[in-house]
A and B are shown apart, each in its own frame.
Chain A
């Protein structure tokens, strides 16, 4: 069963526009949630994470994400996108396994128009 769903394969926005990348998860309990960003030919960089507490979490590079339990969602947002934000974004879920495995969504490719 799909644990993490990123419905948008590719999103294009203009520089300066707002951004929202969607992520839904399927898990009975509240998982630990992560957003990672990957630039071409690079590894993944952690943008932000949610473990518990305040459902609106702030990350690096001006990104934030909101955990909504009722919707099983953890959408990533940024008020004003910069050209350097063009990259692949992955949502990931930790479901509490002892091995610490993360389950990744398929990723969303972000293109930024100048």
Chain B
């Protein structure tokens, strides 16, 4: 089956520092990757959609300069939380949409727990 690797699974950082989260599709090519944020006991909130080789599309209310997304290849997208603050602490999940037959299916990474001190 399609596997999406997300790294790191957990990160603790000091306020003001930047954190990069990687999302890799291991056994398929992903034209589109999605970044979500999930608050405790809530559903997923889509932050942005990234397409390989083009600028990400951010959802309303998501700061582009705060959450930098790069989708440099068909298997890798990164989310960088810049100048992180405690309110950025959350669970971040990526997903990837496969090219080809299963193109309407999103496969999810295991998530990254970010804690900003």
Contact = CB atoms under 8 A, between A and B. Distances in A.
Interface of A: 32, 34, 36, 41-46, 49, 51, 90, 94, 99-102, 104-107, 109
B43 A100 contact: no
30 contacts: A32-B104, A36-B108, A41-B111, A41-B113, A43-B93, A43-B108, A43-B109, A43-B110, A44-B93, A44-B95, A44-B108, A45-B108, A46-B105, A49-B105, A90-B43, A90-B44, A94-B104, A99-B49, A99-B51, A100-B34, A100-B97, A100-B104, A101-B46, A101-B49, A102-B34, A102-B106, A104-B44, A105-B43, A107-B42, A109-B41
A107 B38 CA distance: 12
B103 interface: yes
B32 A100 contact: yes
B107 A46 contact: yes
A97 to B, nearest CB: 9
B103 A100 contact: yes
A105 B4 CA distance: 22
A106 B42 contact: yes
Given A44-B44, A100-B49, A102-B34, 6 more contacts: A43-B111, A44-B93, A45-B108, A100-B34, A100-B104, A102-B106
Nearest to A105: B43
Contacts, number: 52
Interface string B65-81: 00000000000000000
Contacts of B93: 43-44
- Most B CB within 10 A of own CB, among A36, A42, A100, A102: A100
Contact of B34 (A46, A101, A105): A101
Interface string B31-62: 01010000001111010010100000100000
B6 A43 contact: yes
A99 B30 CA distance: 12
Interface in B74-117: 91, 93, 95, 97, 103-111, 113
A42 B111 contact: yes
